[in-house]
Amino acid sequence: MATDAPPPEGGTDTNPAPTTAPDPATTAPGPATPGQARFLDVQESAEFGELRRTYRNFAFPLTVAFIAWYLLYVLLSNYAGAFMGTKLFGNINVALVLGLAQFASTFLIAWYYARHAATKLDPKAEAIKSRMETETDA
């Protein structure tokens, strides 16, 4: 579903009518150039749709998640002082642990995305790219 969703950060921008099917209203007037016709074909191909879905279904929800997690941390720091000040051991309190958890989650998400991209995205992207570039050479 999310394949054609608007960027997730918007928050306030409501439903710019996402559709997966080619929308007549969005068709540019005039003929496409030959190069563009090829890009249009690829863009509508099942293979490219699969690449887009694999990318967006991973990146968009994860972006929403880490921004929400960061905002939760900021809001707790702002409005839940007593909870954040709870000492866990020695002078280490909840605030410090949650702050360090932001570092940990950032490192983890970076690693997770790199792995996803290398195993799931790169092979698909590479296949489309090399096909398009051989067609050009031919």
Partner 1 sequence: MSHSPSTQSAGLVTTELTHELPTRLAAASDASEHRPLIITLFALFVVATLVITVWAGRQTKNASDFYAGGRQFTGFQNGLAVSGDYMSAASFLGIAGAIALFGYDGFLYSIGFLVAWLVALLLVAEPLRNSGRYTMGDVLAYRMRQRPVRTAAGASTIVVSIFYLLAQMAGAGVLVSLLLGITSDAGKIAIVALVGLLMIVYVTIGGMKGTTWVQMVKAVLLIAGTLLITFLILWKFNFNLSDLLGTAASNSGKGAAFLEPGLKYGVTETSKLDFLSLGIALVLGTAGLPHILIRFYTVPTAKAARKSVIWAIGIIGAFYLMTIVLGFGAAALLKPADIIASNKAGNTAAPLAALEIGGGADSTGGAILLAVISAVAFATILAVVAGLTLASSSSFAHDIYANVIRKGEATEQEEVRAARWATVAIGVVSIALGALARDLNVAGLVALAFAVAASANLPTLLYSLFWKRFTTQGALWSIYGGLASSVLLVLFSPVVSGKPTSMFPGVDFHFFPLENPGLISIPLGFLLGWLGTVLSKEAPDRGKYAELEVKSLTGTGAH
By CB under 8 A, tell whether 57 contacts partner 1.
no
- Residues of span 17-56 touching partner 1 by CB under 8 A: 17, 22-23, 25-29, 32-33, 35-37, 39-40, 42-43, 48, 51-52, 55-56
Residue 89 β-bridge partners: 92
Residue 89 CA: distances (Å) to CA of 23, 71, 85, 92, 93: 59, 26, 12, 5, 7
Burial of 104 per CB tally in 10 Å (0-12, 13-18, 19+): exposed
Examine residue 137 and tell whether it contacts partner 1 (CB under 8 A). Answer: no
> Which residue of 57, 62, 97, 120 would you call a contact of partner 1, by CB under 8 A?
62
Interaction between residue 134 and partner 1 (CB under 8 A): no
